[in-house]
Amino acid sequence: MYINSAYLNNSLVDFKDKTKPLIVGSCGTYHLHTRPRLPTRRPRGRLDFQLLYIVSGKAYFYFDKQEEATIVTAGQMVIYRPREPQRYVYYGVDQTEVYWVHFTGSNVRNILRSYGITNDMRIIKTGTTLEYARIFKQMILELQRCQGHYEELLAILLRQLLIQIHRRLTTEHTSRNEYMDREMAQAILYFNNHYNTDIRIEDYAASRGMSVSWFIRHFRQYTNTTPMQYIVARRITNAQMLLETTNYNVTEIGAIVGYENPLYFSRIFRRHKGISPSQYREMVNGGKI
């Protein structure tokens, strides 16, 4: 079995602390390989909140003193609130991998509610993403190293985790079409990598087996902008960076970001920024922006 955990002030004793809105008390991970089972039983619960993330395998939770287990599979989280009885089991045969965090504070319930986690939620369908694991690992490391401002950073990291959860919950509420989500994420990745090439939206949509109208409509829903507007925004943003940090002339910068015609580049830049590329560079050099 693999285990890695860390505790605030190296204390395994759970605690309640209302001196700050949000305080991370402990964090860790389990991954069962050879051990047959790992049970946890706290009839009186804990003083703090606990959030568990099932990365792989599954876990067996016994809520409300029930004898029949609720099976929670990978891609879901379970939240326990203070004083709630806790009973759950991991089995080695399932190769279960779990991350967990305990937290307290004066404003925890309101914070959770603001991120879509209401008081009646026990199991949260969050999906699986490397971002969850990254945040948990960073929290564990911060608790182990205890560098300057680590308690503040732990609260920020926990909020990042809650934001990721809320994004997933919001996405599930507004659109359960996972195919569409994957396609739009793929389109954004492609546009980011090829924004300075001659991208034809019609050709891209056809390459993914989509009609142009369907692709544009759903891309707008996903990003609040059209594909072409997204591409142009990337070009202008990167042109700004080059104007600010390099000695390339305007014609060279236009070509770098995808505009071979310098006059057209200047016209597009002015349309978005209100001034020409040359004027923008003069303002930067003059320290006016």
Res. 26: pLDDT tops 70: yes
Count CB-CB contacts under 10 A for residue 184. 20
Q: φ, ψ for residue 84 (rounded to 5)?
A: -80, 130
Interatomic CA distance for residues 30 and 99, integer angstroms: 7
Assign 287 to helix, strand or coil.
Answer: coil
Q: Which two tokens stand for residue 147?
A: 């560098």
Res. 66: pLDDT tops 50: yes
What's the pLDDT score for residue 251? 96
What's the pLDDT score for residue 172? 56
Instruction: Say what the pTM is.
Output: 0.63
Give the tens place of pLDDT for each residue, 109-138.
999 999 999 999 999 999 888 889 999 999
2-174: CATH topology is: Jelly Rolls (2.60.120)
Task: Tell me the mean pLDDT in the region 30-59.
Answer: 91
Note whether 243 and 277 are within 8 A (CB).
yes
Q: What's at 163, amino acid-wise?
A: I
Interatomic CA distance for residues 156 and 24, integer angstroms: 10
User: Is the domain covering 178-289 a CATH 1.10.10.60 domain?
Assistant: yes
Q: What's at 47, amino acid-wise?
A: L
Per-residue pLDDT band at 177 (split at 50, 70, 90): low
What's the pLDDT score for residue 289? 46
Among 8-12, 50-54, 149-153, 168-172, the range scoring the smallest mean pLDDT is 168-172
Give the tens place of pLDDT for each residue, 205-241.
999 999 999 999 999 988 889 999 999 999 999 999 9
Average pLDDT value for the chain? 91
- Domain ranges for the chain, please list them: 2-174, 178-289
What's the pLDDT score for residue 287? 58
Closest CA to 227 of 164, 183, 176: 183
Res. 56: pLDDT tops 50: yes
**β-strand partners of 86:** 42
Extended strands (E) in the chain: 2-7, 23-31, 37-42, 49-56, 58-61, 70-73, 76-80, 86-91, 97-104, 123-125
The C-alpha angle 277, 279, 284, rounded to 5 degrees, equals: 95
Task: Tell me the mean pLDDT in the region 27-35.
Answer: 85
Closest CA to 80 of 53, 106, 116, 115: 53
Assign 239 to helix, strand or coil.
Answer: helix
Res. 176: pLDDT tops 80: no
